[in-house]
Structure formats: structure tokens, C-alpha cells
Amino acid sequence: MDADNAYCAVFIGKFGVGKSRTINSIAGRKVCVTSNSAKGVTQSPSIAFDEMLLNHRVQLIDAPGLFDPAKSNEETLMQLTQMLQQKIDGLDAVFHVIRMGRLDESEIMMPLIILEGLACALWRELVWRKGTKSS
């Protein structure tokens, strides 16, 4: 399957907002472990869903939550960056998951945190890979 027929999305947000549950809803079944505890369940990024849908390969990446007391945002973003650098040719969307009714200052700052901690590294990787592919 070529890259034109593949879609890859990553789900990012604070720990406990429902990233894994959102992926389960999209998949139509339980593909991610979830919990009602105050501790983040997803400890490292992983491809939670990887299937053919309507002649397209669809991959959904479940990311560990940011602002988790057990891990720094920098560590979480580094893990995610390392994984996404391997997937960069197929990354099509970044979904910022927010729990309804719980918008706070950290959620408002989340896009900036993601851009500073993740997107810059991925952009450099994208430019490098795209530039060297055609040569």
C-alpha cells in the first residue's frame, strides 16, 4: 500500500482526558487499555489501531498524556518525537483531545507546548527526509 492510500493520526492531550477512549470509539472496539484512575495508563506511544478501511491503511497512535505527575512533559514529548520520526511520511493529523468542561490554563497552553516540544523536531525531520528522498 503506497503512502497516498495511508492515513496516520496521533492523539495528544493531558493525562486522563480520554485519548485512549477516543481511539476505542473510532475503532469501534477496545484497542487501547483504559482506566478510571487518576494515573495515566498509556506510558509510551504506540500504534493502537492499524487496519484497512475503505481501501486505505489507517493508523491511530495513542500517546502518553502530558502534565502527568509521574513523567515530565519533555520526556513524554521526546518519546513521541522518536516514534513519530519513524512514521513521519505517513503522519497526517495531530488531534488534541480535551475533556469537555475541563478547559483550563494548561489546555490553553497545550498547542504551544506541542509545537515547541514536538513539531519543531518533526519539521526538521520532515524537511531532511523529504529533501533527501528526491535526490
Q: Which domain holds residue 58?
A: 3-133
- Contact at 8 Å (CB) between 10 and 95? yes
High-pLDDT (> 90) share of the chain, %: 8
pLDDT of residue 29: 92
Which set of grid coordinates corresponds to residue 29? 472496539
Dist CA 29 CA 39 (whole Å): 23
Evaluate if residue 4 carries a pLDDT over 70. no
Dist CA 95 CA 17 (whole Å): 12
- Domain tally, the chain: 1
Dist CA 75 CA 92 (whole Å): 23
pLDDT digits (tens, 9 = 90+) for 20-63: 999 999 999 999 888 776 667 788 788 898 888 888 888 899 98
- In CATH, what number is assigned to the domain containing residue 105? 3.40.50.300
pTM beyond cutoff 0.85: no
